Structure 1
Amino acid sequence: MPCSEKRARLLLERGRARVHRLVPFTIRLLDREQEDCALQPVRLKLDPGSRATGVALVRESQEVGADTGEVQRSAHVLFLAELVHRGHAIRAALRQRAAFRRRRRCANLRHRQSRFDNRTRRNGWLPPSLQHRVDTITSWVRRLCRWAPVSSLSQELVRFDTQALQNPEISGIEYQQGTLAGCEVREYLLEKWGRKCAYCDAENVPLGIDHIHPRSKGGSDRVSNLTLACHPCNRRKGAQGIEDFLAKDPKRLARIEAQRKAPLRDAAAVNSTRWELWRRLTATALPVEAGTGGRTKWNRHRLNLPKAHALDAACVGEVHAVTNWRVPTLNIQCTGRGSYQRTRLTKHGFPRGDLTRSKSAFGFQTGDLVRVVVTTGKKAGNYLGRVAIRASGSFNIQSATGLVQGIHHRFCTLLQRADGYGYSWTRIAI
């Protein structure tokens, strides 16, 4: 592992394997049983996020260090993916539905008897937008476990780490913080303040942690009193209070005061779903390793890897080396499987036109992966992407380069049926 392209072509040409799936490309051997195969340990690593989740399939190997004599674990990357969630779309659709129902009830347009909130929710209930994240990640874990001989799992579970003791002499506050102290706080601030200076909006420059209300005037070290500042702004602010420093910019002052008190929504979403995902993974009967956000960032910096969700997944848990990480990354966009809504709606929630009741046309369904070859005309060319069907037979193709409209169905060739996801390939680094 991994199987090279040349070997895969030979297996297919000789009839020893067949194509199981095109995206991600998977072949299935036909000339041997699983009991006859010598399988190497493969670990599936997950870096759950609010908007996207990193997925890394790695082959593990253990070596004894020549200097220290300790066992070091290396990860050889086989497959990288970034799973983009659609929780925001689910939340927006539910809010729109609730607004339509509320208006119909209050304006007496169509009587809908109010239903009192006297129903109980089961233990562990999550909002649909958050439950979607857990279900989607679990679904892809099951898929990858079917396609590859996964023997263990790793998940980034918590954001703060009380590390195992490495120094026998350590004590006091150093014992509580461990060697990764500060990594979680810095990463939290980078996400919360958009990776730019709070005082001048400077980006792509070294940023330091600044106390909004200086410690010399009673400011605390709580995360609500911390922000990011570039070196010039940090030096000019010095020990001034933020009211004095931004006296001539009241709008920025008000924005900083409001933002410092607001929690990070992405962190709240991840914290709400992490333990439910952990329970789902432990139910697979595979050994599950828990990692932390601080350790993931520490591993990535130590191994000099670029910032990406998929590479963060490869750095989850205990890892001393990551190889073959320049493989293409599969972007998996959650698109859903259509809508039950049979009409378009006006801004007031009234029906406007009817949608076709058939979800397929001319043998195609919205979301199918198709290859299009147009030989003549303004739209001549080769396209690969998801199709959006019309009853007239004039389809739209969402390709990696953009949307192509008005493609006749006779130019389309079906490659893979719709499964609720859109796929595209990218490279993190060259």
Structure 2
Amino acid sequence: MCRKACVTRPVRAEGFEMAVFVLDRSGRPLMPCTEKRARLLLERGRARVHKMLPFTIRVVDRFAESSEFQALRIKLDPGSKTTGIALVREAERGAVAVLNLFELAHRGRQISKALTARRGHRRLRRGKLRYRAPRFLNRDNKAKGWLAPSLQHRVDTTLAWVNRLEQLAPVSAISTEMVRFDMQALENPEIEGAQYQQGTLAGYEVREYLLEKWGRTCAYCGAKNVPLQIEHIHPKSKSGSDRIGNLTLACQCCNQKKAALPVEVFLARKPELLKRILGQAKRPLKDAAAVNSTRWALVNALKTTGLVVETASGGRTKFNRMALGIPKTHALDAACVGHVNAMTGWHKPTLRLKAMGRGSYQRTRLDKYGSARGYLTRSKSIQGFQTGDMVKAEVTQGKKTGIHTGRVAVRASGSFNIQTRHGLVQGVSHRYCTVVQRGDGYGYQLVAKTDATGTPPKQGDASHPALYLPGLKAEVSRANR
């Protein structure tokens, strides 16, 4: 078997494994390979472990100039809380083969709460010091395109992982959902002859929007997990329009009972429900503000990578997923973004990436009045470990005897806590710990592959199966030098 085939052979589309990223001797990306091929390269001494999560190896006898590449594309499904990321290999006629699936959990809500708490503490302290003038005049000079920190975080973390994948694989293009729903189709659905009302996508934008807005429940009786029908709040037979503000969802029973009655008459004995429905009809989609505020910023940021950027709507994504019979997850939604006619290899585990931050400059604990009540250690590194590092602890004695792998939280006493898939292990001495991967501001969790029935996947370990390869401990230690 030639060396070139060992390194650049693409992942098999029918496999259920995660693709392993491959770098050449100088650190440039090659085509990903299977876990089995990566294991053989490591055992034969032809490769070294470069990074554990996502698992990456570096070959010692190849250069990128002598390798062949296929078209790889990064697909994104941006969300207010979670962004789906998929790395796919493109084939002919719109077919794609999924190589890796990721789900990036943002921490925008935590950032917003932290800023609110800090603002309250500053205001309280300023109230106690009468000689300190309030500083309001320096808050208005915002640059054009400024986003709140909680929103800018979504753009920055998504772009960071796009750049990271671009360094690990020879990516040639990006596809992203620019809008969750096609607003032109929603704002003016009554126009005739428009392309949105024709073809295979007819009605998908409106139906998906209503399902998200009304929580996939009947607006009148609250029934769930039943077939829902689009219903006019103000009857169409009495000059009611087809605009999105006049549409809701109802089960067949409620839809037949209401018939052509005005909603005020139908719900005359339920004034609270009537008020809620009329208010929700005018209210925008939940979390839509966060996504709409960052969509252009994200697209413009992706264009700075120099790659070809394809944009699509969420209605198109759902149509592709339903047509291909793929269950709904954030990562698989990302794989369905854009032009897709066929998909293979989507039965893969998903690596969840949770933004954890890189610590805080705050050196004190605060009480409810915003005053210091204790001081933290000035050093973030304890015995060569930092909070967020992935470690492997081999405890040989005591109640915690065994092997524990996960994310570590350091303590000044040298007794650490390790978060594993089985729970939190407290009080593990630093003497038993070995660094697997330095903290990079993210927590990792491997989720089992999704089956065709859409069964909720099992929660996996915060590690990679390659961690349990025999003889890998020396490789890990060498990779972290």
Query: Structures share a fold, TM > 0.5?
Result: yes
Unaligned runs of at least 5 residues, structure 2: 1-9, 12-32, 186-190, 452-481
Shift in Å at residue 309 of structure 1? 1.0
Letter in 2 for 1:160: D
Residue in structure 2 matching 1:160, options 175, 178, 182: 182
Which residue pairs with 1:296 in the alignment? 317
Of the structure 1 ranges 330-339 and 378-387, higher mean CA displacement relative to structure 2 is found in 378-387
Structure 1 pair 211/351, CA: closer, same or farther in 2 (3 Å)? farther
Residues 162 and 177, structure 1, Cα contact 8 Å, conserved in 2: no
Residues 1:413 and 2:434 aligned together: yes
Q: What is the TM-score with the length of structure 1 in the denominator? A: 0.90
Question: 2:94 is paired with a residue of what secondary structure?
Answer: strand
Structure 1 pair 16/428, CA: closer, same or farther in 2 (3 Å)? closer
Once residues 317 and 366 of structure 1 are traced to their aligned partners in structure 2, the CA distance between those partners, rounded to angstroms, is 39
Letter in 2 for 1:175: Q
Once residues 207 and 402 of structure 2 are traced to their aligned partners in structure 1, the CA distance between those partners, rounded to angstroms, is 48
Which residue pairs with 1:352 in the alignment? 373
Residues 1:52 and 2:74 aligned together: no
Letter in 2 for 1:5: E
Of the structure 1 ranges 263-272 and 41-50, higher mean CA displacement relative to structure 2 is found in 263-272
Residues 1:239 and 2:260 aligned together: yes
Letter in 2 for 1:17: A
Which residue pairs with 2:64 in the alignment? 34
Residues 1:197 and 2:213 aligned together: no
Residues 372 and 412, structure 1, Cα contact 8 Å, conserved in 2: yes
Residues 1:92 and 2:113 aligned together: yes
Residues 1:365 and 2:407 aligned together: no
C-alpha offsets along residues 264-323 of structure 1, whole Å, 9 cap, x if unaligned?
242221111111111122222211212221111111110010011111111111111010
Residues 1:177 and 2:207 aligned together: no
Question: 1:114 is paired with a residue of what secondary structure?
Answer: coil
Structure 1 pair 182/102, CA: closer, same or farther in 2 (3 Å)? farther
Residues 20 and 26, structure 1, Cα contact 8 Å, conserved in 2: yes
C-alpha offsets along residues 301-346 of structure 1, whole Å, 9 cap, x if unaligned?
1001001111111111111101000111010001100111111111
Residue in structure 1 matching 2:407, options 381, 386, 403: 386
* Residues 216-227 of structure 1: pairs in structure 2 closer than 5 A: 216-227=237-248
Once residues 178 and 110 of structure 1 are traced to their aligned partners in structure 2, the CA distance between those partners, rounded to angstroms, is 68
Once residues 400 and 272 of structure 2 are traced to their aligned partners in structure 1, the CA distance between those partners, rounded to angstroms, is 50
Once residues 130 and 428 of structure 2 are traced to their aligned partners in structure 1, the CA distance between those partners, rounded to angstroms, is 42
Residues 1:111 and 2:132 aligned together: yes
Of the structure 1 ranges 403-412 and 285-294, higher mean CA displacement relative to structure 2 is found in 403-412
C-alpha offsets along residues 329-368 of structure 1, whole Å, 9 cap, x if unaligned?
0100011001111111112212121111111112110011
Shift in Å at residue 218 of structure 1? 4.2
Residue in structure 2 matching 1:336, options 357, 363, 375: 357
Question: 1:221 is paired with a residue of what secondary structure?
Answer: coil
Of the structure 1 ranges 280-289 and 210-219, higher mean CA displacement relative to structure 2 is found in 210-219
Letter in 2 for 1:277: L
Residues 161 and 294, structure 1, Cα contact 8 Å, conserved in 2: no
Residues 1:24 and 2:36 aligned together: no
Letter in 1 for 2:340: V
Shift in Å at residue 106 of structure 1? 4.2
Shift in Å at residue 162 of structure 1? 7.3
Residues 1:215 and 2:236 aligned together: yes
Once residues 82 and 335 of structure 2 are traced to their aligned partners in structure 1, the CA distance between those partners, rounded to angstroms, is 15
Question: 1:360 is paired with a residue of what secondary structure?
Answer: coil
Which residue pairs with 2:27 in the alignment? none
Unaligned runs of at least 5 residues, structure 1: 63-71, 164-170
Structure 1 pair 244/24, CA: closer, same or farther in 2 (3 Å)? same
Residue in structure 2 matching 1:308, options 317, 320, 329: 329
Letter in 1 for 2:445: S
Q: State the number of aligned residues.
A: 414
Once residues 58 and 248 of structure 2 are traced to their aligned partners in structure 1, the CA distance between those partners, rounded to angstroms, is 52
Shift in Å at residue 242 of structure 1? 3.1
Which residue pairs with 2:471 in the alignment? none
Which residue pairs with 2:275 in the alignment? 254
Once residues 325 and 310 of structure 2 are traced to their aligned partners in structure 1, the CA distance between those partners, rounded to angstroms, is 23
Residues 1:400 and 2:430 aligned together: no
Structure 1 pair 218/381, CA: closer, same or farther in 2 (3 Å)? farther
Shift in Å at residue 417 of structure 1? 0.5
Structure 1 pair 351/252, CA: closer, same or farther in 2 (3 Å)? farther
Residues 1:229 and 2:259 aligned together: no
Structure 1 pair 308/279, CA: closer, same or farther in 2 (3 Å)? same
Which residue pairs with 1:167 in the alignment? none
Letter in 2 for 1:270: V
Structure 1 pair 239/415, CA: closer, same or farther in 2 (3 Å)? same
C-alpha offsets along residues 86-137 of structure 1, whole Å, 9 cap, x if unaligned?
1111111111112222333346578352322564221211111111111111
Q: What is the TM-score with the length of structure 2 in the denominator? A: 0.81
Structure 1 pair 162/199, CA: closer, same or farther in 2 (3 Å)? closer
Sequence identity (%): 58
Q: Give the root-mean-square deviation of aligned CA atoms.
A: 2.2
C-alpha offsets along residues 38-83 of structure 1, whole Å, 9 cap, x if unaligned?
1111111111111111111111110xxxxxxxxx211001000011
Structure 1 pair 407/190, CA: closer, same or farther in 2 (3 Å)? farther
Once residues 402 and 185 of structure 1 are traced to their aligned partners in structure 2, the CA distance between those partners, rounded to angstroms, is 43
Shift in Å at residue 4 of structure 1? 2.1
Question: 2:91 is paired with a residue of what secondary structure?
Answer: strand
